[in-house]
Amino acid sequence: MPSKLFSSPIGKKMGMALTGLILYGFLIGHLLGNLLLLKGDGGQAFNAYAEFLINHPLLIPAELFLVVVFLLHVYLAISVTRENRRARPVGYQATQSVGGRNFASYTMIYSGIIVLVFLVLHLKTFKYGDKAEGTLYDLVSATFQQTGYLVWYVIAMLVLGVHLWHAFQSAFQTLSVRSDKIRSLGLILCLILALGFGFLPVYLGILK
Amino acid sequence: MTEEQSRRKRDAGQSDCLSFTISIWRQQGLNDKGQMVSYPLKRVRPEMSFLEMLDVLNGELERKGEELPISFDSDCREGICGMCGLVINGVAHGPGHGTTTCQLYMRSFADGSTITIEPWRAAAFPVIKDLVVDRSAFDRIIQAGGYASINSGSAPDANSMLISQELASEAFDAAACIGCGACVASCKNASAMLFVSAKVKHLNILPQGQPERHKRTVAMVEAMQQEGFGNCTNEYECEAVCPKEIAVEHISFLNREYLKAKVAGK
Ligand code: HEM
Ligand code: SF4
Ligand code: FES
């Protein structure tokens, strides 16, 4: 019977919450690393950091772990969302929110899909991008000179922020921790992440 | 109109009656497609309950004899049986906190406004006719584990099982759930987590509920899944409409209990 844990409604939600929080952790680490772009040293520190990661023996296992966690999150998200649609085949003529439903909470699957598309493009541009011409820093700087790319990037980060806004308190509620402190922390974190990731390209592409 | 306004109108010799356009879901049977139909309704007294207003509307429909009266559920009409669930202007049990539809009064609605009335919507609660839904899915969840097997042979000694006042109150808060289904109706995923969590908690925290604790939790969650209710996405619409003000902390409790039961190998 314990095996049914992961196909049960509660098990699935706990899976989503755990995978989501691990991804959250990754985002925080990633943002901290990217802050090196602000150093104004022509990218020396940033390139050194990238070099350090690329040569780290644990990089491959860490990447594999993240890929599995991410795919699991997406798989559970789709499964949960489909079940939820099936549970209400006929909707209401009049709808009104009187509880905690908000823009972020009812668009989770859409914000998630945009993040997924973003991530694929992001990896293609930077991780597997053409670095023959120069360093990673050069590639990043050059990419954000393109206005279209810059705009899409900033919008995607705002969408990520919306996803994370509902996500943080939701994950903790699922895992049985509910408090106003968690709500406030979730709001602060999603603002830091969305504005942080959104500001870097603006800095590199326009301000610098 | 407040009681005060209505009294003043009456004193001045004016009618304090309200009129509405009632837009209501009509469906002949399980397999009928159904549609919204509008009825004008005059001479509604502000102190009438919502169900009395529907009785008046049905009286008019019967007098005219063109259409069958509107079917809706009700029993106690005093907020304790959970039969009278309606979605009113998009809100389960309508405006007002901690009240069932039968405890809602027409003074809560603006004179001349349109009131939209729909049945609970969920795959697990099929519409039988007009506003009446089949909520037997809840009964099957209760049958799966919402009981404590107690030897009822001879009466136990008084105070042989000590239960603190705090614990008794907490269990009673959970036991206040009347199984109305508003939590399901209001949830965008038609999730029954608030109902199940209340039922699980009120037995799981009492000594009488201990022997079947883990078995109960798992059986009720599985029954809930089998009935086709959706998954909770923590939007807290359920607690906002619950007439018994069951809080979403009960859902956190259920999640914890479920994990404990799984760890215990159930
Ligand atoms: C870096 C990327 C992501 C992070 C940090 C993240 C984080 C989270 C967290 C913490 C939750 C809350 C879990 C819960 O409600 O218990 C969540 C929910 C959700 N995520 Fe993500 N997520 C990410 C990407 C995605 C992607 C790519 C998709 C979809 C394709 C997605 C779809 C969803 C959906 C639909 C929910 C809502 C589930 C629900 O409310 O029950 N997420 N996410
Ligand atoms: S939890 Fe509240 S809304 Fe849900 S069935 Fe019980 S009383 Fe009704
Ligand atoms: S008729 Fe019993 S609660 Fe409304």
- Contact indicator for B116, A94 with CB cutoff of 8 Å: yes
Please tell me the pTM assigned to this model: 0.93
DSSP element (H, E) containing A2: none
Cα A112 to middle of ligand 1, angstroms: 6
* B3-118 matches B136-147+163-263 in fold: no
Could you say which of 1.10.1060.10, 3.30.930.10, 3.30.360.10, 2.60.40.180 is the CATH number of the domain covering B136-147+163-263?
1.10.1060.10
Instruction: Please compute the mean of the pLDDT values over residues A28-53 and round it to a whole number.
Output: 93
DSSP string, B186-248: HSTT-B-HHHHHHHHHHHHTSGGGSTTHHHHHHHHHHHHHHTT-B---S--HHHHH-TT---T
Given CATH 1.20.1300.10, say whether it is the number of domain A3-88+102-207.
yes
**Which pLDDT score is estimated for A148?**
94
pLDDT surpasses 70 at A69 = yes
- Give the domain ranges of chain B: 3-118, 136-147+163-263
**Token pair belonging to B195:** 């109902």
**Token pair belonging to B168:** 């008794």
Instruction: Please compute the mean of the pLDDT values over residues A82-92 and round it to a whole number.
Output: 96
**Token pair belonging to A178:** 């509910």
- Contact indicator for B125, B154 with CB cutoff of 8 Å: no
**Token pair belonging to A123:** 């990896």
Residues whose CB falls within 8 Å of the CB of residue B110, separated by 6 or more in sequence, listed in order? none
- Ligand 1 atom 8: the closest Cα is on which residue? A20
- Could you read off the pLDDT of A113-160 as tens digits, one per residue? 999 999 999 999 999 888 877 899 999 999 999 999 999 999 999 999
Could you say which of 3.80.30.20, 3.10.20.30, 3.30.470.10, 3.30.70.1520 is the CATH number of the domain covering B3-118?
3.10.20.30
**Token pair belonging to B154:** 């001879």
- Contact indicator for B72, B26 with CB cutoff of 8 Å: no
| Ligand 1 cavity residues, CB under 6 Å | A 13, 16-17, 20-21, 23-24, 27, 73-74, 77, 80-81, 108-109, 112-113, 115-116, 163, 167, 170-171, 174; B 233-234
Per-residue pLDDT of chain B (266 residues; tens, 9 = 90+): 566 776 777 677 677 899 999 999 999 999 999 999 999 999 999 999 999 999 999 999 999 999 999 999 999 999 999 999 999 999 999 998 999 999 999 999 999 999 999 999 999 999 999 999 999 999 999 999 999 988 778 887 888 889 999 999 999 999 999 999 999 999 999 999 999 999 999 999 999 999 999 999 999 999 999 999 999 999 999 999 999 999 999 999 999 999 999 999 88
* A32 vs A40: CA distance, rounded Å: 16
Instruction: Please compute the mean of the pLDDT values over residues A161-168 and round it to a whole number.
Output: 96
Mean pLDDT over the full length of chain A: 93
Alpha carbon dihedral B41, B47, B49, B52, in 10-degree steps, equals -50
- Ligand 2 atom 5: the closest Cα is on which residue? B179
**Which pLDDT score is estimated for B1?**
59
Chain A hits for B186, CB-CB cut-off 8 Å, are 98-99
Instruction: Please compute the mean of the pLDDT values over residues A189-205 and round it to a whole number.
Output: 95
ipTM (interface predicted TM) = 0.91
Chain-centroid distance of CA A156 in Å reads 10
Q: Answer yes or no: do A87 and B258 touch at CB < 8 A.
A: no
**Which pLDDT score is estimated for A1?**
46
pLDDT surpasses 50 at A71 = yes
**Which pLDDT score is estimated for B257?**
96
Q: Which is nearest to A12 in space by CA: A84, A116, A114, A113?
A: A84
- Contact indicator for B98, A64 with CB cutoff of 8 Å: no
* B102 vs B75: CA distance, rounded Å: 9
Q: Answer yes or no: do B222 and A8 touch at CB < 8 A.
A: yes
Tokens 């992961």 identify what position?
A6
